[in-house]
Chains A and B, each alone.
Chain A
Amino acid sequence: MADILYFGRLGDVTGIPSEHIALPSNISNTLQLRTWLDGEKSLGGALLEKTVRLAVNSEIVADPHPVKDGDEIAFMPPVGGG
């Protein structure tokens, strides 16, 4: 099982801020994860956008980065506070 977090507008798009899911055996990196989740949820590409970065266990990573059970994986649209 992995924890998937959807931040910012992606929480609205998916309808959930986070979920605890079993990763299928053919999903082993961030690129595969994006494609699989986007398809599962019929998001039309929201998780595939280049400006959406992924963090694995609180580190921002470049695609394709390995993912496995036990990971916390965050989908992060462009950030900015202030």
Chain B
Amino acid sequence: MITLSAQPFDAGDELKAFEARASGAGAIVSFTGLVRDRASDENVRILHLQAYSPMTERGIEQAAARAEARWPLTAIRILHRIGDMGPGEPIVFVATASAHRRDAFEAADFLMDYLKTEAVFWKKEVTDTGERWIEPRAEDYQDSARWALTGED
């Protein structure tokens, strides 16, 4: 259900496998994040992803458990790259299955916001002119804050 992979993956293959596993669900939502080819007007050569195992995996498992507690999901898949990847390569794949679309959409959105701002990864961009570590943007934190529970949980 949760995988960190140092090898490239094919999002289409992942979706097919997930559809097979989630058969019977009324709705499947999937999201694929790709390495951008441009950053701050520079060409990106490599994106490097660093994780801290097993803390990274444990955190993602806890986020998946929170999603399952909040939405009636029948299946979840989270696949995240680590190591070096090039422009256009998939960096993350998230899929959720549920009886109805809204729950699947929201759970996938929630999981991506977790991955962007709380998951234990560090990202380094190597461009034509040098390299720099990237930290979440203010918008990423705002997106993530939308899921704060108020009262009922």
Name the interface residues of B102-144: CB closer than 8 Å to any CB of A: 112, 115-124, 133-136, 140
In the complex the two chains form, is B121's CB within 8 Å of A80's CB?
Answer: yes
Interchain CB contact under 8 A, A81 and B92: yes
Mark the stretch among B9-17, B21-29, B50-58, B69-77 that contacts chain A: B50-58
Query: For B135, what are the chain A residues with a Cβ–Cβ distance below 8 Å?
Result: 77-78, 80
The answer on a CB contact under 8 Å between A8 and B122 is yes
Q: Residue of B at shortest CB range from A78?
A: B135
List chain B residues, Cβ under 8 A from A55.
Answer: 52, 55
B136 touching A80, Cβ below 8 Å: yes
Measured CB to CB, the closest approach of chain B to A14, in angstroms, equals 13
Docked CA distance A82–B136 (Å): 10
Contact-residue size bin, chain A (C-beta under 8 Å from the other chain): 10 to 19
Whole-angstrom distance from the CB of B107 to the nearest CB of chain A? 15
Contact of A81 among B54, B55, B58, B116 (CB under 8 A): B116
Q: How far is the CA of A48 from the CA of B135 in the complex (A)?
A: 18
What's the minimum C-beta distance from A24 to chain B, rounded to whole angstroms? 26
Other than the given A58-B55, A80-B117, A80-B118, 15 more pairs (CB < 8 A) read: A7-B52, A8-B122, A8-B133, A55-B52, A77-B122, A77-B135, A79-B121, A80-B115, A80-B116, A80-B136, A81-B80, A81-B115, A82-B80, A82-B116, A82-B121
A-B residue pairs in contact (CB < 8 Å), sample of 5: A7-B52, A58-B54, A77-B133, A82-B33, A82-B119
